[in-house]
Amino acid sequence: MSLTNEKITIMYNKMVTARLLEEMLHEMFSEHMLHGTTHLGIGQEASGIGACMTLRDGDKATLTHRNHVQCIGLGMNVKYLLAEMFGKETGTNSGLGGSMHLMDLKNGNLGANGIVGGGLGLALGAAFKMHYHKEENVVMCFLGDGATNEGLFHEALNLASIKNLPVVFFVENNHYAVSMNTSRSMKVTDIGQRANAYGIRSIILDGNDAIDVYNMTFSAVQYVREGNGPILIESKTYRVAGHSKSDVKQLYRSQEEVDAWVAKDPIKRLEEYILKNNIANSEMLKEINTRVMDEIREAVLFAQNSLDPSADILNKHIYAK
Partner 1 sequence: MKEITYKEALREALSEEMIRDENVFLMGHDIGIYGGGFGVTEGLVLQFGEQRVIDTPISEAIIAGLATGAAISGLRPVIEAMFSDFVTLMMDNIVNQAAKFSFMSASQACVPLVLRMPAGCGTGAGAQHSQSLEAWMCHVPGLKVVFPSNPYEAKGLMKAAIRDNNPVIFFEHKLAYSSIGYVPEDEYVIPIGQANIMRKGNHITMVSYGHSVQKCLMAAAHLKEIGISAEIIDLRTLYPLDEATIINSVKKTGRVMIVHEAVKTGGLGGEISAILSEKAFSYLKAPILRIAGKDVPIPFSKTLEEACVPQIQDIENAAKRLMRR
Give the footprint of partner 1 on this chain (CB under 8 A). 60, 62, 93-94, 96-97, 101, 103-106, 110-111, 113-115, 118, 120-129, 132, 151-152, 155-156, 158-159, 162-163, 313, 316-321
* Closer to partner 1 by Cβ: residue 101 or 201: 101
- Give me the least distance between CB of 225 and partner 1, in Å please: 17
- C-alpha to C-alpha distance for 99 and 87, rounded to whole angstroms: 9
Distance in Å, CB of 216 to partner 1, minimum: 26
d(CA 53, CA 235): 15
Residues 6+ positions from 270 with CB-CB distance below 8 Å: 8, 11, 12, 15, 46, 210, 211
Query: Measured from the CB of residue 252, what is the shortest distance to partner 1 in angstroms?
Result: 27
Indicate the residue among 124 and 204 with the shorter CB distance to partner 1.
124
Amino acid occupying residue 43: G
User: What dihedral angle (degrees, nearest 10) is formed by the CA atoms of 148, 182, 172, 17?
Assistant: 140
| Pick 99 or 182: Cβ nearer partner 1 | 99
For strand 167-173 and strand 231-236, is the pairing parallel, antiparallel, or unpaired? Answer: parallel
State the minimum distance, in angstroms, from the CB of residue 173 to partner 1: 22
Least distance from C-beta 188 to partner 1, angstroms?
A: 21
User: Contact at 8 Å (CB) between 229 and 200?
Assistant: yes
Q: Which is nearer to partner 1, 89 or 212 (CB)?
A: 89
Q: CB-wise, 104 or 265, nearer to partner 1?
A: 104
Question: For residues 294 and 308, which CB has a smaller minimum distance to partner 1 in the complex?
Answer: 308
**At its nearest, how many Å lie between partner 1 and the CB of residue 182?**
23
User: 260 or 314: whose CB is closer to partner 1?
Assistant: 314
Planar angle of CA 197, 69, 56, nearest 5 degrees:
70
**Phi, then psi, of 202 in degrees rounded to 5:** -130, 155
Task: Give the CA count within 13 Å in the CB-facing half-sphere of 133.
Answer: 10
DSSP classification of residue 104: B
**Shortest approach of partner 1 to residue 184 CB, angstroms?**
24
Q: Are 65 and 114 in contact (CB under 8 A)?
A: yes
